[in-house]
Structure 1
Amino acid sequence: MSFSPHRLIFCHLTASCGRDLSLVFETNQYLTDLEFVKNTLEDSGMKLLCEGLKQPNCILQALRLYRCLISPASCGALAAVLSTNQWLTELEFSETKLEASALKLLCEGLKDPNCKLQKLKLCASLLPENSEAVCKYLASVLICNPHLTELDLSENPLGDIGVKYLCEGLRHSNCKLEKLDLSTCYLTQASCVELSSFLQVSQTLKELFVFANALGDTGVQHLCEGLQHAKGIIENLVLSECSLSAACCEPLAQVLSSTQSLTRLLLINNKIGDLGLKLLCEGLKQPDCQLKDLALWTCHLTGACCQDLCNALYTNEHLRDLDLSDNALGDKGMQVLCEGLKHPCCKLQTLWLAECHLTDACCGALASVLNRNDNLTLLDLSGNDLKDFGVQMLCDALIHPICKLQTF
């Protein structure tokens, strides 16, 4: 057990601890965060714990259950807490396998008018045979509960049918979700059609995580159609490891040029290649593009893409974080990119160039960037063969008064 003034983390507790914990909530008016790791409180212990959570003095705001044994009866007890506790706003189950009957009971609590829960996380907690039924339950919650703003269903085998059921709730006018995580949920392009229709009507969604799903280019094209017809508030779009190629980059560029709210785009580990980046750069150069964070780590880029990036940096004053790690840019590509980094319009603050096939031959160009760019505060060159001479050139630049680098 570790303790801080407002948070407790318990490991390997058993049912006998339930009464003691209940007494804590009856008297302690400071505890706001409680986490259980690998506990077997059983039904009797959980029932006692929940009695404590319903006490007037209890101000617990976050309850997290990681790899715990939770039965339907225990979920029923938690549902009663949700309908009475006005403080609890965050409930998390991680790697805690829940039966469909358990989640049905929990959802009844979530639908109660008195439930004030804002964040629900069910990461890797749904059984494959129950996923579709659970999505129906959750859809009914989204229709009834206007307080829920974050839903994390990552690492669950929802599949396209599960997402179809879920979107029935997501599209409802009562749904106020701001963050949705469907990463590693066995989705294909069929899910993107449903999500696109949701994006077109949602007036609240700001963050969408769908990484590690085989969406493909067609799937992302569907998403982009939704984003272009959306209410214009999406800020964070995570499409890493989605089996993408250059074919999806033109519609993404159109989103960049038309959606001023989008400030973060992650495309890590997709084979978009130099052609794909060329298309993205067309979007980056548009005046309405407000993107601040672009992650292109392991995107099969070469030095040939650096001129397009350079041209984008000439005109884009909003980009702050650029990750090009694990791409074979090489020294010649880096030298070209440095011309863009030196331009007065470039306001980049963090640049990730780990394992980009760089040597000391490009360090002179990088040093000149450090001598002229007073915005850059982080430069990652790990995994490159810079040698002593290259590092020495960079160190000489670090002492220049213009250089504001903090992490190197």
Structure 2
Amino acid sequence: RGCDFLSSALRSNPSHLRELDLSNNYITDSGVKQLSDLLKYPKCKLENLGLSSCHINEEACADLSSALRSNPSHLKELDLSENEITDSGIEKLSPLLEDSRCKLKKLGLRSCYINEDGCAVLSSALRSNPSHLRELDLSNNNITDSGVKQLSDLLKHPECKLEKLGLKSCRINEEGCADLSSALRSNPSHLRELDLSDNYITDSGVKQLSDLLKHPEFKLEKLWLRSCHVNEVSCADLSSALRSKPSHLRELDLSNNYFTDSGVKQLSDLLADSQFKLQKLGLRSCFISDRGCDDLSSALRSNPSHLRELDLSDNNITDSGVKQLSDLLKHPQCKLEKLW
């Protein structure tokens, strides 16, 4: 009922509104149907629409797709996360996504009960109109390696210019990493942020990613690999790959993996490299002790001016480890702003 009032009011004065966030309300499909009357109004120039956690499903996707196809050129951001969209809802959205007039840049589909069939439909639709999308979040869906294989057809499309890809908590393992890495090597220059946290990547998957990281045209700036069941072997592969092309990465989160001091030792050669300009490093819950702090501090003293955030929470550091870190903190070029 509130959506009905809102839609009616905005149709009387539609041309100025650019952002509308209705997330975390009990909108349901009926409410989206009311909003659709506004969205298809020719004078509506809405650019950002947030409908996260609104108790909507595939019927709402059909109404949204139909309405926005009547007036597709303005919308730039659409967030449908945490709704029961399912693969059927992706099927309903696909006519909009493949419309050449649709210029959507950000699409949020986190926690939407999507699996590999939905990925296949999504990939197919976006390959018809790939040049506008810059951010895609599919985290916390049942995508698995099969779904990543479907998405890979999109990622290697020469006109795909995706910059941010979220695949956190998607039950991906090393096979998915291999497909992802292979696709991005075919079209490496655009991606800037990749989140693969909370997947069963293992060291084998990180090895696949490392081959991608050393590609001369791959310019990734942010990489999240939290809780990926990797150990010091991955640290060695990452360090080796990034030393061959160290200047782009700005954020690296390896928290909640079994690295231990041995893994930190592997990373130290990378951290000491003056061409490595990392600003944020996450090593929370990595079984690091005072010895690891010593190696970390020593490496960062060789290259102290870039790092701004360091998270070492939930490790076995003790006062002795803090003493090692203190040598870094008093370095005149150390510009650390946040320390956990």
TM-score (norm 2): 0.92
| C-alpha distance in 1 between matches for 2:324 and 2:144 | 43
For residues 300 and 137 of structure 1, what CA distance do their matches in structure 2 show?
Answer: 42
Tell me the C-alpha RMSD between the 2 structures: 2.0
Deviates more, 1:68-77 or 1:191-200: 68-77
Equivalent AA in structure 2 for residue 180 of structure 1? L
Matched, 1:351 2:306: no
Q: Which moved more, 1:171-180 or 1:372-381?
A: 372-381
Cα gap change, 1:373 to 1:170, in 2 (>3 Å) = farther
Any conservation in 2 of the 1:124–1:155 contact (CA below 8 Å)?
yes
Distance 1:192 1:244, change over 3 A: same
Q: How many Å apart are 1:174 and its aligned residue?
A: 5.0
Matching residue within 35, 55, 64 for 1:78: 35
Letter in 2 for 1:123: S
Residue in structure 2 matched with residue 105 of structure 1 by the alignment: 63
Percent identity reads 21
Shift of the alpha carbon at 1:217? 1.2
Do 2:28 and 2:54's aligned partners in 1 also have CA atoms closer than 8 Å?
no
Indicate which of 94, 98, 105 corresponds to 1:139. Answer: 94
Distance 2:263 2:247 in 1: 20
Q: Which amino acid aligns with 1:310?
A: S
1:57 Cα shift? 6.0
Contact 1:82 1:115 (8 Å CA) reproduced: no
Give the equivalent residue in structure 2 for 1:255: 212
Which of the numbers 222, 238, 261 marks the counterpart of 1:264?
222
**Could you say which residue in structure 1 is the equivalent of 2:289?**
330
Match 1:236 to one of 190, 193, 197: 193
Query: Aligned runs of 1:190-339 on 2, under 5 Å?
Result: 190-201=146-157, 202-258=159-215, 259-287=217-245, 289-315=247-273, 316-339=275-298
Q: Report the secondary structure of 2:156's partner residue.
A: helix
Q: Which runs of 5+ in 2 are unaligned?
A: none
- The AA in structure 1 aligned to 2:228 is N
Structure number with the bigger relative contact order (C-alpha 8 A, sep ≥ 6) is 2
| Unmatched runs of 5 consecutive residues or more in structure 1 | 1-40, 382-408
Larger displacement relative to structure 2 (248-257 or 372-381) = 372-381
Deviations 1:176-199 (A, max 9, x none): 111000011111000111111111
Retained in 1: the 8 A contact 2:14–2:44?
A: no
How far 1:102 sits from its partner (Å)? 2.6
The answer (yes or no) to whether the contact 2:38–2:44 under 8 Å persists in 1 is: no
Structure 1 residues 137 and 346: CA distance shift in structure 2, 3 A: same
Q: Is the 8 A contact 1:256 1:291 kept in 2?
A: no
8 A Cα contact 1:188 1:213, kept in partner: yes
- Tell me how many residue pairs correspond in the alignment: 335
